[in-house]
Each structure stands twice: as structure tokens, then as C-alpha cells.
Structure 1
């Protein structure tokens, strides 16, 4: 059993340390960075205390990393990505927000619209899974969005340098909107109990924010990009 902290030992509040060492062994244990002040003018020492995760937290951690692996697979290997490009593909220009409400229904339009909507919804779960698994590092929207954007930018860069895809700032924008939908839906639903009620409120919130995002993208595109 993990011993409680004595007054001389206080948890380190730096999110980088907590986030990094939780990644070391995600499925079994978590590491707390603990600071030991040896005296008023003495050196500050750091050590690591290891504690077991509860069943609920372990399930969330497994769910997070399983979903992370799925997204990596979809971004680097799925949809015929094993066929490489001949040159680096990239786009650093934001020409529009690639979200809209379809006004005509042909197979080509529906296919493009579904792909764009999937680019949004695929990253909604991260908006909930990041703060659930890493409440200290990612409990606040700004900090969690920063972690997400850094990660998704790295994935876009990997797509480009491996010639398996392209680096596209519009994709990063859409992915970030999807993450934001997930985070806001989690914030609204997190106090709902039992779990079934939480899931229901989360799904309804995701639906509502998705519709608002489509409408908002239409308005912004009409004003600024046309």
C-alpha cells in the first residue's frame, strides 16, 4: 500500500513530469514525482513513488492507449496509405474550414462530406480521454488542447516525411475542433451519474456541438473565404 505523504514530501506540480512518467507504464502503475526539501537552505531532492492504479483508472488508461494506437494506424497505414507518394505533400495555407452542410446529394459529395465529418469526429474521444486519464496535466482546456495540437502536428509531420500522407493545416484545424467538441461534451457530462446517463449526455452534447460546428463553419467560410 502506498504510504501517505509526510509534510516534508509534497507532490511535484509540474505537468511535464506527471504526464511523462505516467506514460512509462500506462497499464499497471503510475509514478508521482515527489519533492523532498532537506532544509531551508539545503538542496532539493526528487524521488519517484510508485502506486497502483485502481480498476477504473486502469480501464481508462487501457482505453486511451488502445484508441491512440487505432488513430496512429488510421493515420499512417489505413485507407491505402501503404502506397507512398513520390514527393512530400504539404499545405500550409488555410483556404477554408472544410466543414459544411451538404445542399446537394450525389455520391461524390456525400463521400467527401463523410470523410470531412469523420476527420472531425475521429478525434472527439481524445477530448474526454485526455482529461480523464491525465487530470493534472490536461484537466484544463487550454493545456489539454496544447498537448493535442502538438501530438496531431507531429502525426501530420510523420505522414509527410514517410510519404504516406500529407501535412495539412486544415486537417489540424478540423482535428482540434473535434477535440474541443469532446472536451466540452465531457465537461458538461462529467457530473452525470450513473455511467449510462453520462454516456447519454455525452453523445447528445457531441451531436449538438457538431451541428453548431457545421453551422459555424458555413458562416465563417461565407464571410471570410468566399
Structure 2
């Protein structure tokens, strides 16, 4: 009942199908990127790195939202899966009566799904690591920002009925974001030790 009221509000006040809405969203994103670019031109080298990483982060997030929410066809009804790690359980819990080829194809498909979900927000984590550089960092903030971005993407899919809300996607996306952040931090540390 509450979800139906939310859907009514979305359908009447948030026109997802209108080109004007998405073009205004794109225009706002471009304006934010132009402002960040102006900061790049006026600031020191340290601030330029931050502004450039903010532009990359913002642009990549726009691409992710576009591909996960805007380009998909609208489903019939709300689809959600609130069981965490159902795909991991499916990976190890196959019926022994199935043929070996079918089991291998299913496992390959599930592994591909998991890896793609991890890789989805990995660049965002790398851009955030580039933004912070070698500053003292708090991993709770990184995990919280990763969870919030992933939860936003999943809720956008649920409320617009353009995808399935899955709790496990939040975990996999968060893991990819944190992994990207750690990779970038290690790369920056190694680069500074070797070349500076």
C-alpha cells in the first residue's frame, strides 16, 4: 500500500520518461563538471588533482545511473530480492541430477554476475582514492559512501521499476568501491615512494 502511494507520487511528480527531465539532469551534471574544471585551472597542483577526480567521479556515476536506470525497460511491478548472497548460495548449491554442462554454464553465469557487480563501482572507488590522495583516511567514510551510492542505485531501480532491488548487489558494489579505493591508495603510495 505504501509502495503504491510512492509509485503514484513518482508517476505524477517525477516524469522519468520525459526527455526534459533527463536533459536537465545532464545539464546540471555538465555545469558541475565545468565548475570543477574552473577550479582545476585556477588552483594549485594538489587542488587540480582533486577537481579532476571529482569530474571523473561525477561523470562515471552519471554513466552508471544512465545505464542502470534510464536505458532499461520498465518492468511490471516492483521486483526485489532481500536475501543476501543468493547468487553465492546458488553457486555452491546445484542439483546433482543436472548435467555437467548445465551446471558449469550456470556457475559461469553466476560468477560473471558477481564479478560485474564488483567491477561496477570499482572506478568510483579509484576516483575517490585519487581525490583523497595520501591524506589520512577513515575507511568508515569510504564504506559509508560506497553503501549510500549502491543503495541509491538499487532504490532508483526499485522505485522506477527498471530493475530488481537486490541486497547482495549493495554488498558486491560496496566491495568493489572499497577495493578500487585501496588499489588507488596503494598505487599512489608506491608512485610517491618510487618517483618522488
Q: State the TM-score, normalized to the length of structure 2.
A: 0.61
**1:94-109 counterparts in 2 under 5 A?**
94-96=84-86, 98=88, 106-109=104-107
Partners of 1:125 and 1:64 in 2: how far apart? 8
CA-to-aligned-CA distance 1:136-185 (integer Å, 9 cap, x gap) = 99932111211121121112111001010121111101111111211222
Partners of 2:136 and 2:68 in 1: how far apart? 23
2:179 is matched with which residue?
181
1:28 is matched with which residue?
38
What residue ranges of structure 2 are gaps of 5+ in the alignment? 1-31, 93-99
For residue 139 of structure 1, give the secondary structure of its aligned residue in structure 2.
Answer: coil
Shift of 1:88: 0.8
Q: Which has the larger radius of gyration?
A: 1
CA contact (8 A) 1:98 1:170 kept: no
CA contact (8 A) 1:84 1:164 kept: yes
Partners of 1:176 and 1:138 in 2: how far apart? 21
For residue 116 of structure 2, give the secondary structure of its aligned residue in structure 1.
Answer: helix
Q: Number of matched residues?
A: 151
Partners of 1:187 and 1:136 in 2: how far apart? 7
* Structure 1 runs, 4 residues or longer, greater than 6 Å off: 135-138
Structure 1 residue corresponding to 2:60, chosen from 67, 89, 100: 67
Q: Mark the CA change 1:122 to 1:138 in structure 2 (over 3 Å): closer, same or farther.
A: farther
CA contact (8 A) 2:69 2:157 kept: yes
CA contact (8 A) 1:137 1:144 kept: no
Q: State the TM-score, normalized to the length of structure 1.
A: 0.54
Give 1 or 2: higher helix fraction.
Answer: 2
Structure 2 residue corresponding to 1:88, chosen from 61, 74, 78: 78
CA RMSD in angstroms comes to: 3.6
